[in-house]
Amino acid sequence: MVTRSYMSRREVEQQSFSLTVALLVPLGAILLQVLLPKAMPRLAILDLPLIVTLFFAISRRNPIAGTITGGTIGLLQDVLTSQPIGVNGMAKSLIGYAAASLGSRIDVENTGTRAVLTFGFSLVQSVLLFLIERRLLGIRVFHVLWLHELLRAMVNTVVGVPIYLLLDRFKYQE
Amino acid sequence: MEFLSRFKNALFLIAVLLAQAIALAVQVRTPADAGAPDGREVRLIRMWTSATVTPFERVAYAIGSGVHFGWQDYIDLRHVRQRNQDLQQQLTRMRIEQAAIAEDALQGRRLQALLAFKEQYVGSTVAAQVIGESGSDTSHVLTIDKGSRNGLRPDMPVITPDGIVGKLRDVFPTTSQVLEIDDLTSGAGVILATTRIRAILRGTLTGRVQIGNLTADSRIKPGEQVLTSGGDQVYPRGLPVGVVQSIAPDPDHQPYTAIAVRPAVDLDRVEEVLVITGTQPNLPPDAQQDLAAAEAQHAADLSAERLPSIHDSDSGVPGQGGTPPGTAAAPNPNAPPVVAVPHPLPAAHPDRFTSGSTPPASDLTPGGPNSPQNGSPPSSPPNPPSSSSPGSGKPKSQPASPQPNAPQ
């Protein structure tokens, strides 16, 4: 059975979040991203900041807001790593912009669409990180391990879809 | 204006990307300095973020460790008695091994002194708890709960009793970032324990640790121990790094080989670390006492092995002139200590391997021969070796020749 979602253009453009949610959810994602691999090292493959970036970008459907959200989350992520500040910032700025642009054109309330978007943008981020590290920073030993990145995209998708459903509860229509 | 309003989204994105690209260009360093701490401005940003995140990490760590230790110390006590017995046996074994190693260590130190080697021993350390990680599988950084207020500075080595973990990268007032040896930007000077080959250890993108600057060498085998060489001016010499795991051609850097090293420390599960805050040219007093005790024990063991007659005479065997039974266990405190090390019988046909024919270590030169230049046996019979080396109270060992490729 096909589920159809009908939303007016006005409804699409007016979904937003409270300031508390907009601040605490990204911070919580970054904090969990730091803490979870310590308890279980294999969870480092998960990218919670990317999931949160995608959720806010496709929900707000505003490219500028998506760019700011992605850039801020990415920069915070960079600060906690050994990488130069800006690597994840640039990648997630682009992801936020692209996701928000897509969100204003297609129905992203559907779970299947969200899963496809998460999988696709996870791979796009891997390519962006490779280009930034290899071409911009000139780190010759940086490679893309495609199998690993595919696995990362799948894990992000599996974990991301329930998180989207959870975060949907915090959305409100203006 | 119409252009700006029409393309404001794209222009905003370009502006953000440009700003970050400029920021990257400011931070970017040459590969040799990749693991170095950041500049002042970047360090400030990292410090502010760290100050925001660290309290949450501390709380999470406190809760986690409380649950863990509560379970481990009060509930899950199965097999503790058996484990205790195993550890006691292990301790006994290690004491015996330590006694055996003590003499080699002393001999090595004497030779180093003769050759004016400058050894650096771990002088002072600061214990710290690991409270967080980078959260990325491409960046291997730990956060510890000690910082500049505890005397830590960038580039200080971080170790555990098993081996090295990494070095301090950015040091904040109450926390520090540790760059692990398996990070892509990490590097350390190492030496292979058996073959004495020096190399550079680097992390990889996959979190493996490997040596990549050596050409194929059949002497290097899996299982060989890897130690710090001290050549990087960060890690003191002789700390365990790991063991060689595999050797394969490096497809990216021919004709070099990629020697995978399994770290001595499980870097994914580091809980407590020691930061080396100072080194010193001599062994710490505690270690010197341990070494002296081990040396005395080893000398006693050697005497017991080489002088069965002394113990036989003390055993109180009737009719052999020994102490009567029942009196052997009561030593006389006023009696002088028995120093009776017998001289070995002179060799019937002395050659260059005969004891006493090798010149003293002070006359040897690194890389030179360890026997007389003509290679002929000494014309006169060798002098009987002295009973004990001066001040050491143990039999004099054979003077050893320094290895030509010994580490500096």
Residue B227: its H or E element: strand B225-228
Give the single-character DSSP code of B141: E
CB-nearest partner of B13 from A75, A79, A97: A97
Q: How confident is the model at residue B314 (pLDDT cuts 50, 70, 90)?
A: very low
Closest CA to B104 of B237, B298, B257, B279: B298
Contact state of A145 with B205 under an 8 Å Cβ cutoff: yes
Percent of chain B scoring above 70 in pLDDT? 65
As a whole number, mean pLDDT of residues B273-282 equals 82
Q: How confident is the model at residue B397 (pLDDT cuts 50, 70, 90)?
A: very low
Distance from CA of A69 to the nearest CA of B (A): 12
In total, the C-beta contacts within 8 angstroms joining chain A to chain B are 136
Distance from CA of A102 to the nearest CA of B (A): 13
As a whole number, mean pLDDT of residues B159-179 equals 90
What are the C-alpha distances in Å from B135 to residues A48, A62, B31?
10, 28, 23
**Lowest-pLDDT choice from A53-62, A65-74, A99-108, A117-126:** A99-108
As a whole number, mean pLDDT of residues A119-143 equals 89
- Sign (positive or negative) of CA dihedral B168, B172, B173, B178: negative
pLDDT score, position A155: 95
What is the rounded CA–CA span in Å between residue B115 and residue A46? 54
How confident is the prediction for chain A on average, in pLDDT? 86
Nearest CA in chain B to A89: B20
Contact state of A141 with B21 under an 8 Å Cβ cutoff: no
Contact state of A80 with B141 under an 8 Å Cβ cutoff: yes
Q: Which residues of B touch A34 (CB under 8 A)?
A: 53, 57, 132-135, 143
Q: Is the pLDDT of residue B402 over 70?
A: no
Contact residues for B259 (Cβ-Cβ < 8 A; gap 6+): B199, B210, B211, B212, B214, B220, B244, B246, B247
What is the number of H-type helices and E-type strands within chain B? 6, 12
What is the rounded CA–CA span in Å between residue B362 and residue A141? 48
pLDDT score, position B313: 47
Q: Is the pLDDT of residue B394 over 60?
A: no
Q: How confident is the model at residue B390 (pLDDT cuts 50, 70, 90)?
A: very low
**Residue B137, amino acid:** D
More confident position, B393 or B48: B48
More confident position, A106 or B381: A106
pLDDT score, position A1: 46
CB-nearest partner of B23 from A39, A86, A97: A86
Q: How confident is the model at residue B306 (pLDDT cuts 50, 70, 90)?
A: low
Q: Is the pLDDT of residue A106 over 70?
A: yes
Q: Is the pLDDT of residue B244 over 80?
A: yes
Among B8, B12, B16, pick the best mutation site for testing chain A contact (most A Cβ within 10 A).
Answer: B16
pLDDT score, position A10: 45
Name the burial class of residue B98, with classes exposed (0-12), middle (13-18) and buried (19+) by CB atoms within 10 angstroms of its CB: middle
Q: How confident is the model at residue B49 (pLDDT cuts 50, 70, 90)?
A: confident
More confident position, B277 or B72: B277
Contact state of A90 with B46 under an 8 Å Cβ cutoff: no
Among A82, A133, A147, A152, pick the best mutation site for testing chain B contact (most B Cβ within 10 A).
Answer: A82
Residue position matching structure tokens 């222009």: B11
Percent of chain B scoring above 90 in pLDDT? 16
Contact state of B21 with A30 under an 8 Å Cβ cutoff: no
As a whole number, mean pLDDT of residues B294-306 equals 69
Q: Which residues of B touch A26 (CB under 8 A)?
A: none
Q: If contacts are CB pairs under 8 Å, which of residues 162-201 in chain B contact chain A?
A: 169, 177, 179, 183-185
What is the rounded CA–CA span in Å between residue A153 and residue A126? 9
User: Which tokens go with A85?
Assistant: 């500040």
User: Which tokens go with B142?
Assistant: 């730990």
**Residue B361, amino acid:** A
pLDDT digits 0-9 by tens, B188-211: 999 998 888 899 998 888 888 999
As a whole number, mean pLDDT of residues B267-273 equals 87
Residues A71/A25, Cβ–Cβ less than 8 Å: no
φ, ψ (nearest 5 deg) of residue B124: -140, 145
* Domain spans in chain B, listed from the N-terminal domain onward: 8-51
Which range, B70-84, B148-162, B342-356, has the best average confidence (pLDDT)?
B148-162
Percent of chain A scoring above 90 in pLDDT? 47
Q: If contacts are CB pairs under 8 Å, which of residues 58-77 in chain B contact chain A?
A: 60, 64
Residues A47/A153, Cβ–Cβ less than 8 Å: no
pLDDT digits 0-9 by tens, B91-101: 888 887 787 78
**Lowest-pLDDT choice from A167-171, B186-190, B213-217:** B213-217
Closest CA to A98 of A75, A118, A81, A82: A118
Contact state of B135 with A86 under an 8 Å Cβ cutoff: no
Using the Cβ of B30 and the Cβ atoms of chain A, whether some distance falls under 8 Å is answered with: no
Residue B243: strand pairing partners: B225, B262
Instruction: Quote the Cα angle for B351-B354-B356, to 5°.
Output: 120
